[in-house]
Chain A
């Protein structure tokens, strides 16, 4: 079993839709949770990160972590064609340097 599981999609939505991207993880020691966005032919870039459980909002993006169910979510409101990319969830424990990435979900937002 992978430490971080993510449905690779693809996920296709119309412009303006609310997008929900999800991951599960198995290691209870994970404390940092990240979402990276990767456009085609580019490297991933950090979109959001949260520490431990809770919500974090940044504009149209909301990251949510539920440590009791080991569930990581990213919500995108009012999705735009420019949001079309691969979204990777990631998790890391404290005191280490190893970030574990999910496989990435490919998102298409249609105009």
Chain B
């Protein structure tokens, strides 16, 4: 059974802080994704990675960076958190041969004050 875990369920940070969100998957998936989910806007892709040390920008990469040093781990970094980054952050993974099936983590609800 595929499992995607995220380091925190809830986070409260202050404006300007550096924020790390970590995601780990246990199914040896090649592809990993970071989305944010906002009411009325659905899921929007921030960054994705199709291999270790590889990363590609999604639709809304501004203000974010990512790191993938190991295959199972994909980190999202908010260099200087702002209030408009308050959101639900979802990590997902998929295998290279079945990319239409993404497995999601439970999400991290981030509040930036």
Given A41-B106, A42-B107, A98-B58, are A88 and B50 also a contact pair (CB < 8 Å)? no
Whether the Cβ atoms of A97 and B50 lie closer than 8 Å is yes
Given A97-B56, A97-B99, A99-B100, are A44 and B40 also a contact pair (CB < 8 Å)? no
The verdict on A61 contacting chain B, using a C-beta distance below 8 Å, is no
Q: What is the minimal beta-carbon distance from A53 to any residue of chain B, in angstroms?
A: 16
- B-chain residues with CB within 8 Å of residue A88 when the two chains form the complex: 42-43
**C-alpha gap A92/B39 in the complex (Å):** 22
Give chain A interface residues in 73-111, CB to chain B under 8 Å: 88, 92, 97-99, 101-104
Q: What is the minimal beta-carbon distance from A36 to any residue of chain B, in angstroms?
A: 8
**C-alpha gap A45/B105 in the complex (Å):** 9
The verdict on B66 contacting chain A, using a C-beta distance below 8 Å, is no
Q: Which of A43, A49, A98, A101 interacts with B101 by CB under 8 Å? A: A49
Q: How many residues of A contact B (CB 8 A)?
A: 22
Contact flags (1/0) for A1-27 with B, using CB distance below 8 Å? 000101010000000000000000000
Contact flags (1/0) for B70-113 with A, using CB distance below 8 Å? 00000000000000000000101000000111111111000000
Whether the Cβ atoms of A6 and B42 lie closer than 8 Å is yes
Q: How many residues of B contact A (CB 8 A)?
A: 27
The verdict on A34 contacting chain B, using a C-beta distance below 8 Å, is yes
Whether the Cβ atoms of A99 and B102 lie closer than 8 Å is yes
- A-chain residues with CB within 8 Å of residue B107 when the two chains form the complex: 41-43
Q: What is the minimal beta-carbon distance from A52 to any residue of chain B, in angstroms?
A: 12
- A-chain residues with CB within 8 Å of residue B58 when the two chains form the complex: 98
The verdict on A32 contacting chain B, using a C-beta distance below 8 Å, is yes
Binding site for A on B (CB under 8 A): 4, 31, 33, 35, 39-45, 48, 50, 56, 58-59, 90, 92, 99-107
List 5 additional A-B contacts (Cβ < 8 Å) besides A43-B105, A44-B90: A6-B42, A41-B106, A43-B90, A97-B31, A99-B100
